[in-house]
Amino acid sequence: MSNIQAQDQEIYEAIEREKRRQAEGIELIPSENYTSEAVMEACGSVLTNKYSEGYPGKRYYGGQENIDTIETHAINRAKELFGAEHANVQPYSGSPANTAIYFALLEFGDTVMGLKLEHGGHITHGLPIAFSGRAYNFVQYEVNIETGRIDMENVRKMALENKPKMIVAGYTAYPRDIEWKKFKEIADEVGAITVADISHTAGLIAGGALQSPVPYFDVIMTTTHKTLRGPRGAIILCKEKFAKAIDRAVFPGLQGGPHENAIAGKAIAFKEAMQPEFKQYAEQVKKNAHHLADELKKRDFKLVSDGTDTHLLLIDLTNKNVPGKQAQDALDEVGMTLNKNTIPGEPRSPFDPSGIRLGTPAITTRGMKEPEMERIAQWIDKVISNIDDKALHAQIKEEVKEMCLGFPVPGIAT
């Protein structure tokens, strides 16, 4: 960072402070992670200088020999990693990728089924004020409020009633495994296209810790920066028969020049995800989440669906008499970062909901295991049970920092 330091103090200092924050705090936001230094090098490389509209072998600008090599590696590795027939590695991020899928396979106004936001769905799955909800007729399914799980019989009933052209499964705040096969059977009954959004769980699926939708679903989308541990971005995988429509929707339908620096980062991340250590990481993410769930339940925390199958926990704080936002702020103060979240059947407002959402990918990447999960559960409990005790919070902040310094973050010298 010597060049930034010499040239731009404001940005340099903010990045340095951010490094310290990442190194000294416990990252529990389930959609965050730490990429390897190799991935970061690719993102900060000269590839950021190059325009390469089009696809390998079919570009609109000259000088593509190296870019084509890189993007072809990214495509082949994505296909191999997930066992997919076709891969598009150009989407800038998850939201544009979902938009491209809709643009490729639907007409405006077509009926689509997606999970409601307050029940764990993503804004791109039909939130009324979002592009998806404005451009398409989204019919939104829910989880069962009692069990916290998706009620597949109800999904089937809604599908038969609404005859959607597409069914979207895969979520943002859902702690349980997804019944891909059952979704596919329902979609087949009504002739709907199946789209799996595995943004949150792609790393666990690639590492063999969760079931893959690839054998069943038509189209699979994932961000590359969550459990998959790559650079910020996304990919779309699909069956060969949708390949042309998907590629044309990404470029020129929705995007211009792809970010080849990020695509090189994706290629590197996919290679990393094929190594045996990545399987261990995926297993440990799940083990840590289970252990954290058990430790929190011991301390009378109420988990939506009573536990987790994945990397993610959703806690209903109603019995603790602490709203989600206050919990988020107090935990932030002690160096534990997570986010307030709505719970199914949310009685409060989305700006100040009843729950918090947390996950184990980032802390697992740092090497934390079961003993650390126990300490994290203890700290969460202490902070929430003593929400106004500033002295206690200051003491916990020191304990958090001390533990964190024993688990280095890639790219940050401690």
Q: Which residues are catalytic?
A: 51, 53, 197, 223, 226, 232
Query: Is residue 119 at the binding interface for ligand PLP, with CB under 6 A as the rule?
Result: no
Distance CA 277, CA 289 (A): 18
Per the CB < 8 A criterion, the answer to whether 201 and 146 are in contact is: no
Which listed range, 2-10, 63-71, 87-95, 316-324, lies at the site for ligand PLP (CB under 6 A)?
Answer: 87-95
Rounded to a whole number of angstroms, the distance between the first and last alpha carbons of the chain is 16
Site for ligand PLP in 184-203 (CB under 6 A): 197, 199-200
For residues 95 and 140, which CB has a smaller minimum distance to ligand PLP in the complex? 95
Between the alpha carbon of residue 229 and those of residues 1, 147, 256, the distances in Å are: 22, 31, 25
Q: Does 386 bind ligand PLP (CB under 6 A)?
A: no
Rounded-to-integer distance, Cα 138 and Cα 345, Å: 19
Query: Is 170 near ligand PLP (CB under 6 A)?
Result: yes
**CB-nearer residue toward ligand PLP: 95 or 310:** 95
Q: Shortest Cβ distance from residue 234 to ligand PLP (Å)?
A: 6
Helix, strand or coil, per DSSP, at residue 233? coil
Query: Considering only residues 73, 86, 119, 122, which one is a binding residue for ligand PLP as defined by CB under 6 A?
Result: 122
As measured in angstroms, the least distance from the Cβ of 146 to ligand PLP is 24
Quick note: the x/- pattern for ligand PLP over 23-42, rule CB under 6 A, is: --------x-----------
Which residue in the set 82, 171, 251, 281 belongs to the binding site for ligand PLP (CB under 6 A)?
171
| List of E strands, 22-110 | 26-27, 54-55, 58-59, 86-88
Nearest Cα to 81, choosing from 179, 224, 226?
Answer: 224
User: Amino acid identity of 178?
Assistant: I
Minimal distance, residue 272 CB to ligand PLP, in Å:
19
C-alpha dihedral sign at 313, 319, 320, 321: positive
Give CA–CA dist 105/100, Å, rounded: 9
Residue nearest to ligand PLP (CB): 94
Q: Which positions lie near ligand PLP, rule CB under 6 A?
A: 31, 93-95, 98, 122, 124, 170-172, 197, 199-200, 223, 234
